[in-house]
């Protein structure tokens, strides 16, 4: 089977399925998109062909491509992804963009709670090398992947701590707390499509709000004067997240929409 024939196994030309098949082939052959297009007549070896067919079968069974290839681009970074981590989503880049627009100290003290692959913490570290950034997660194998990603991307100043939300941290105050916590209701029908990703990364009690509430309620005590919290949340949680910030005495509360026009990130400042 040559590359053109392999591509034809999946979807129509210009479909997302065909694009995913192309990404899989690029990964397996270790080549860029442009080279794949130039080598359509090239035959796959038996090993390449088998790996390709195995990969397609995993994707068909609902596994994200990132678990098959073991990596995912995020911001300007290439991040290792395993079954211990969520696959970073493009919408989370909205949170990074939002944070980069804030006027913060040049050496701001920042924490990313529930860092997963390290996506948010490492993207911020790549843009603001002088910030003091800490990244936490409740699951050590997840944090090991994030640490590997820090080394892979040369961002070794980021510190990593394991523990449940603020319990991971020693006594200190932050200019900025960021998090993309679990926020899906355990009964949400969308969970059917997310079965291969860890539940601990996705599900939260109280209609998906339990972890967001902890971060907002406890976060006040971990902020310096005029510090910010910036949170990613569900498309239908904008109002309740704003209300929770307000109840806890935050100001400058604002929700930012994602690329699909849905509420996705809410930020708020605490005037101590
Ligand atoms: C939605 S994922 C976000 C991962 C990453 N920040 C991203 O945006 O791709 C949530 C992360 O929070 C972690 N987590 C879940 N419960 C936690 C807790 N109680 N304390 C700290 N981290 C937690 C999960 O292990 C997971 O890595």
Q: Looking at the structure, do residues 28 and 109 belong to the same domain, yes or no?
A: no
Q: Are 176 and 227 in contact (CB under 8 A)?
A: yes
**What pLDDT, on a 0 to 100 scale, did the predictor assign at position 158?**
98
C-alpha span between 48 and 242 (Å, rounded): 51
Is 181 part of a structural domain of the chain? yes
First to last CA, the chain: 66
Domain stops at, among 35, 61, 87:
61
Q: Mutation test of ligand 1: which of 140, 182, 213 has the most ligand atoms closer than 8 Å to its C-beta? A: 182
Q: How far is the CA of 44 from the centre of ligand 1 (A)?
A: 39
Is 227 part of a structural domain of the chain? yes
Is 152 part of a structural domain of the chain? yes
Q: Looking at the structure, do residues 75 and 57 belong to the same domain, yes or no?
A: no
Is 208 part of a structural domain of the chain? yes
Residue 90, marked binder = no
Q: Mutation test of ligand 1: which of 80, 201, 205, 210 has the most ligand atoms closer than 8 Å to its C-beta? A: 201
Range of the domain at 79: 71-270
Q: Looking at the structure, do residues 186 and 55 belong to the same domain, yes or no?
A: no
Is 206 part of a structural domain of the chain? yes
Q: Return the sign of the alpha-carbon dihedral for residues 218, 266, 223, 161.
A: positive
Is 183 part of a structural domain of the chain? yes
Q: Mutation test of ligand 1: which of 165, 200, 213 has the most ligand atoms closer than 8 Å to its C-beta? A: 200
Q: Looking at the structure, do residues 27 and 100 belong to the same domain, yes or no?
A: no
C-alpha span between 215 and 185 (Å, rounded): 17
Q: How would you write the pLDDT of the chain (272 residues) with one tens digit per residue?
A: 999 999 999 989 889 999 999 999 999 999 999 999 999 999 999 999 999 999 999 999 999 999 999 999 999 999 999 999 999 999 999 999 999 999 999 999 999 999 999 999 999 999 999 999 999 999 999 999 999 999 999 999 999 999 999 999 998 999 999 999 999 999 998 888 898 999 999 999 999 999 999 999 999 999 999 999 999 999 999 999 999 999 999 999 999 999 899 999 999 999 97
C-alpha span between 152 and 135 (Å, rounded): 16
Per-residue pLDDT reduced to its tens digit, 178-213 = 999 999 999 998 888 898 999 999 999 999 999 999
Is 66 part of a structural domain of the chain? no
What's the structural domain count of the chain?
2
**What pLDDT, on a 0 to 100 scale, did the predictor assign at position 193?**
86
Is 113 part of a structural domain of the chain? yes
Q: Looking at the structure, do residues 237 and 260 belong to the same domain, yes or no?
A: yes
Q: Looking at the structure, do residues 145 and 96 belong to the same domain, yes or no?
A: yes
Q: How far is the CA of 164 from the centre of ligand 1 (A)?
A: 9
Ligand 1 pocket list (CB less than 6 A): 86, 88, 92, 113-117, 119-120, 136-139, 142, 164-165, 180-182, 200-201
Distances (CA, A) of 139 to 67, 129, 144, 147, 184: 18, 26, 9, 13, 19
CA-nearest residue, atom 27 of ligand 1? 116
């Amino acid at each position: 089977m040559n590359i053109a024939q392999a591509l034809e196994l999946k979807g129509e030309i210009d479909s997302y399925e065909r694009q995913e098949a192309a990404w899989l082939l690029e990964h397996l052959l270790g080549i860029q998109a442009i080279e794949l297009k130039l080598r359509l007549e090239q035959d796959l070896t038996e090993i390449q062909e088998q790996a390709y067919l195995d990969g397609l079968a995993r994707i068909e069974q609902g596994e994200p491509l990132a678990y098959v290839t073991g990596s995912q681009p995020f911001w300007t970074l290439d991040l290792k992804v395993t079954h211990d981590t969520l696959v970073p989503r493009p919408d989370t880049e909205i949170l990074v963009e939002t944070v980069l627009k804030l006027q913060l100290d040049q050496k701001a003290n920042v924490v990313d709670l529930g860092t997963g692959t390290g996506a948010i913490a490492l993207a911020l570290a790549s843009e603001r090398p002088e910030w003091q950034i800490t990244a936490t997660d409740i699951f050590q194998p997840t944090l090991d992947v994030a640490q590997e990603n820090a080394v892979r991307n040369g961002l070794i100043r980021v510190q990593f701590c394991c523990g449940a939300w603020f319990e991971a941290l020693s006594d200190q105050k932050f200019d900025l707390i960021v998090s993309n916590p679990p926020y899906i209701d355990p009964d949400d029908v969308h969970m059917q499509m997310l079965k291969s990703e860890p539940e601990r990364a996705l599900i939260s009690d109280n209609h998906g709000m339990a972890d967001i509430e902890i971060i907002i309620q406890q976060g006040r005590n971990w902020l310096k004067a005029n510090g910010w919290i910036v949170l990613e949340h569900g498309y239908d949680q904008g109002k309740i997240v704003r209300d929770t910030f307000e109840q806890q005495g935050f100001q400058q509360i604002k929700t930012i929409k994602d690329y699909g026009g849905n509420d996705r990130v809410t930020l708020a400042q605490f005037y101590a």
